[in-house]
A and B are shown apart, each in its own frame.
Chain A
Amino acid sequence: MTFRAKHLLGIEHLHPTEITTLLDLADSYADHNRRGIAHRDVLAGLTQINMFFESSTRTQASFELAGKRLGADVMNMGMQASSIKKGETLIDTALTLNAMRPDLLVVRHPHSGAVDLLAQKVNCAVLNAGDGKHEHPTQALLDALTIRRAKGRLHRLSIAICGDIAHSRVARSNIMLLGKMENRIRLIAPPTLMPAGVSEFGCEVFENMEEGLRDVDVVMMLRLQKERMDGGFIPSEREYFHRYGLDAAKLSHAKPDAIVMHPGPMNRGVEIDGNIADDINRSVIQEQVEMGVAVRMAAMDLLARNLRAQRQEVMV
């Protein structure tokens, strides 16, 4: 068995062979999805609960679709509206759900470490769909699969991650994953959006887009949250776009065949020029969304196998 994890809480604790195993499986799911081959037996009889303590459309839909394609019974719980408003603690919520005996729990929470905390209290497999500024492992995995399919490999590539790195869980998971797979990572951001201690991350750090993008294979843009735009971290949207927004001129410094990625949702004209985002020769943004479903299918498939094996052991 080359995928041994019980939960998918982050990239940090995954071994490179586990990452490769998951990506290989996701790759075949991606092909099958395109050809319309169904796999409704894989998670048949299992219950998947999506618990989103922070609003999300895309990630939640992607997890829901992945579960349904594999035949799971999927339930969505919008947690902003429910029990936490009534003062229930996260652990009590976890224990309550655990008593309903779900098999797969997909959790997003606004606080870093909250999903780890919850995973300690339940008997099912937990998938982190983003916790605070900590990790978003399935996003990093889908980015990796997209890169691997576009570039034919996932090692010895030069990859630039640009934008609000300080507040981005996507950036953290990607830095860890791409580092584990032995790529060269460049971080490009204004210093106010760079995390503290970044010089110890093992990445090259740039404050200038043109210099940072020089000869890279992959340009990964990050979303800039609305609330950080005005004066707090950067002076204004337009100055940010001028200095850090990805346009044709800045992209010309990258390799001619460099691909452009964005985890979505995009702010056109803030971090990325709409023309670049829509350029089918450069942008793989739509493919990222497609790979998202495949990666989540693979993650839930592998975790469910481990869960079943574990339950079998208990019964024997």
Chain B
Amino acid sequence: MTQTLFINARLIDPVALTDSRGALLMRNGKITAVYETAPTPPKGASVIDCGGQCLAPGIIDIGVKVSEPGERHKESFRTAGRAAAAGGVTTIVTRPDTSPAIDTPETLEFVARRAALDAPVNVLPMAALTKGRDGREMTEIGFLQDAGAVAFTDCDRVISNTKVFSRALTYARSLDALVIAHVQDPGLSDGAAVTSGKFASLRGLPGVSPMAERMALDRDIALLEMTGARYHADQITTARALPALERAKRNGLRITAGIGIHHLTLNELDVADYRTFFKLKPPLRSEDDRQAVVQAVADGLIDIISSMHSPQDEESKRLPFEEAASGAVGLETLLPAALRLYHADAIDLPRLFRALSLNPAHLLGLAAGRLLAGAPADLILFDPDAPFQLDRARLMSKSKNTPFDGARMQGKVLGTWVAGTRIWEGH
């Protein structure tokens, strides 16, 4: 029986939305008690003095791409797991857009086995909603659920055939399976590399109107009214999509929404002279949109912040902008980037962890994501102020495609615990 008492901690509680001094006791991988003032340590317990730093539930990151199977040279479970540990992410929820796609129980078992062998953090796999992510035939949602799939998604591919999508949603509802969709009208966004507007036009890059996001969300909301499925929009990044989301929630549809950290902290102008590390899907938006979605996270309208970790090797990025691959790594920069919002007084820490830890746990039905007795002891200790300059060469990820290379950031993870075991010690 191992016991650890954290004393002198700044407890970030996303349930009570408090940020206060206190202590926390964990035993056998679970949180057993939370105190306002530290008790005498139980016999045999080790004591960790947090020195007034923040103790928060570990981050649950939905939508992480680990490039196994298929592209292990970009990211493996070992490197993604270490990056997660260093970044304060205690659970990664992996994407099925590998090659081949995770669309059968057999490939899902491969992923689960590799993850258990190599990753120090919790790994929960998602599976494809349609076979080969082709948008034609639904996968074996029931078998995949039995094999451990926590959600079903075709990732950045939109199912354009509404008949196929409505049937998949209807079938998923019968199993209470969560469907995660990318919201981007496929016709309007075809071939786009950036968001349309003055910047895109002057750079001569093909752009997509931000309206493509709202169009796809409106369509999906109609399908939800029709089918009653449980649905999560992976990334809501534009102001114009927010009223539709708000209305759908108010009408009682089972809908939630997420956003990637890069859309909360960067805008379209960061692409500057064709910097491909800033090429994302959906593309970075205008500053007006960025401010609107930051407010939506603070208000709780957008539920979840993810890293949308997408490893790409140098070869896929060192190309003309239109030809370069999309996506950025984010496991290690998720917390310091999110802390930019805290330092800018846009979102306080409890609300930040509501979006990073609590809401993802709610969505997936996990007991983690909170500082409550009985919850798993998935914890992070971090200094929100510690300054550093990011050097991409020092990232744990195999791929180094971060838009924050050379950026001055604040926030360092001092310790990460998964089920009570310390898996990261920062300096």
Given A117-B274, A131-B204, A112 and B315 touching (CB < 8 A)? Answer: no
A112 with B205: CB separation less than 8 A: yes
Contact for A113 among B196, B197, B209, B274, CB less than 8 A: B274
> Residues of A contacting B315 with CB < 8 Å?
89
Contact for A197 among B199, B273, B322, CB less than 8 A: B199
> Residues of B contacting A132 with CB < 8 Å?
204-205, 320, 322
The residue in A112, A131, A169, A200 that gathers the most chain B C-beta atoms within 10 A of its C-beta is A112
Contact for A111 among B197, B202, B320, CB less than 8 A: B320
Given A132-B204, A134-B204, A135-B204, A112 and B196 touching (CB < 8 A)? Answer: no
Cβ of B200 within 8 Å of any chain A Cβ, yes or no, is yes
> Residues of B contacting A12 with CB < 8 Å?
202
A113 with B205: CB separation less than 8 A: yes
> Residues of A contacting B198 with CB < 8 Å?
196-198, 200-201
Please give the distance in Å from B413's CB to the nearest CB on chain A. Answer: 34
Please give the distance in Å from A25's CB to the nearest CB on chain B. Answer: 27
Nearest B residue to A194 via CB reads B201
A112 with B318: CB separation less than 8 A: no
Q: How far is the CA of A112 from the CA of B201 in the complex (A)?
A: 11
Q: How far is the CA of A218 from the CA of B80 in the complex (A)?
A: 60
> Residues of B contacting A201 with CB < 8 Å?
198, 201
> Residues of B contacting A195 with CB < 8 Å?
201
Contact for A134 among B196, B199, B203, B318, CB less than 8 A: B203
A169 with B320: CB separation less than 8 A: no
Cβ of B323 within 8 Å of any chain A Cβ, yes or no, is yes
Contact for B204 among A90, A133, A200, CB less than 8 A: A133
**Which range contains the number of A residues in contact with the other chain?**
20 to 34
What 0/1 pattern do residues 85 to 98 of A give for CB contact below 8 A with B?
00001110000000
Cβ of A114 within 8 Å of any chain B Cβ, yes or no, is yes
Q: How far is the CA of A237 from the CA of B321 in the complex (A)?
A: 32
Q: How far is the CA of A23 from the CA of B371 in the complex (A)?
A: 70
Nearest A residue to B273 via CB reads A116
Quick one: which of A165-219 are within 8 Å of B by CB?
166, 169, 172, 195-198, 200-201
> Residues of A contacting B323 with CB < 8 Å?
111
B273 with A196: CB separation less than 8 A: no
Given A89-B318, A196-B196, A196-B201, A112 and B207 touching (CB < 8 A)? Answer: no
> Residues of B contacting A131 with CB < 8 Å?
204
> Residues of B contacting A196 with CB < 8 Å?
196-198, 200-201, 207, 209
Please give the distance in Å from B268's CB to the nearest CB on chain A. Answer: 11
> Residues of A contacting B201 with CB < 8 Å?
166, 172, 195-198, 201
Cβ of A223 within 8 Å of any chain B Cβ, yes or no, is no
Quick one: which of A85-128 are within 8 Å of B by CB?
89-91, 109, 111-114, 116-117
**Which range contains the number of B residues in contact with the other chain?**
20 to 34
A111 with B199: CB separation less than 8 A: no
A109 with B320: CB separation less than 8 A: yes
> Residues of A contacting B205 with CB < 8 Å?
112-113, 132-134
Q: How far is the CA of A198 from the CA of B197 in the complex (A)?
A: 8
What 0/1 pattern do residues 155 to 166 of A give for CB contact below 8 A with B?
000000000001
> Residues of B contacting A117 with CB < 8 Å?
274, 318-320
> Residues of A contacting B204 with CB < 8 Å?
112-113, 131-135, 169, 172
> Residues of B contacting A113 with CB < 8 Å?
203-205, 273-274, 320-321
The residue in B200, B319, B320, B321 that gathers the most chain A C-beta atoms within 10 A of its C-beta is B320
Contact for B320 among A112, A135, A172, A198, CB less than 8 A: A112
B321 with A112: CB separation less than 8 A: yes
> Residues of B contacting A169 with CB < 8 Å?
204
Given A134-B203, A172-B204, A116 and B319 touching (CB < 8 A)? Answer: no
Please give the distance in Å from B193's CB to the nearest CB on chain A. Answer: 9
> Residues of A contacting B318 with CB < 8 Å?
89, 91, 117
Given A135-B204, A172-B204, A197 and B196 touching (CB < 8 A)? Answer: yes
> Residues of B contacting A109 with CB < 8 Å?
320
Nearest A residue to B323 via CB reads A111
> Residues of B contacting A134 with CB < 8 Å?
203-205
A114 with B320: CB separation less than 8 A: yes
Q: How far is the CA of A117 from the CA of B323 in the complex (A)?
A: 12
Given A112-B274, A116-B273, A197-B196, A90 and B320 touching (CB < 8 A)? Answer: yes
Please give the distance in Å from A130's CB to the nearest CB on chain B. Answer: 10
Nearest B residue to A112 via CB reads B204
What 0/1 pattern do residues 205 to 224 of B give for CB contact below 8 A with A?
11101000000000000000
> Residues of B contacting A89 with CB < 8 Å?
315, 318-319
> Residues of B contacting A111 with CB < 8 Å?
320-323
> Residues of A contacting B197 with CB < 8 Å?
196-197, 200
Please give the distance in Å from B84's CB to the nearest CB on chain A. Answer: 31
Please give the distance in Å from A71's CB to the nearest CB on chain B. Answer: 33
Nearest A residue to B197 via CB reads A197
Quick one: which of B204-252 are within 8 Å of A by CB?
204-207, 209
Q: How far is the CA of A227 from the CA of B320 in the complex (A)?
A: 23
Quick one: which of A1-23 are within 8 Å of B by CB?
12
Please give the distance in Å from B282's CB to the nearest CB on chain A. Answer: 16
Given A113-B274, A134-B203, A90 and B319 touching (CB < 8 A)? Answer: yes
Q: How far is the CA of A200 from the CA of B199 in the complex (A)?
A: 10
The residue in A113, A116, A196 that gathers the most chain B C-beta atoms within 10 A of its C-beta is A113
Please give the distance in Å from B319's CB to the nearest CB on chain A. Answer: 7
> Residues of B contacting A172 with CB < 8 Å?
201-202, 204
The residue in B200, B202, B205, B318 that gathers the most chain A C-beta atoms within 10 A of its C-beta is B202
Q: Could you list 20 A-B pairs, sorted by A, with CB under 8 Å?
A: A89-B319, A90-B319, A91-B318, A109-B320, A111-B321, A111-B322, A112-B205, A112-B322, A113-B204, A113-B205, A116-B274, A117-B274, A132-B320, A134-B205, A196-B197, A196-B198, A196-B200, A197-B200, A200-B198, A201-B201
List 5 additional A-B contacts (Cβ < 8 Å) besides A196-B207, A196-B209. A112-B322, A113-B320, A133-B205, A197-B199, A198-B201
Nearest 6 A/B pairs, CB to CB: A197-B198, A134-B204, A133-B204, A113-B274, A195-B201, A112-B204
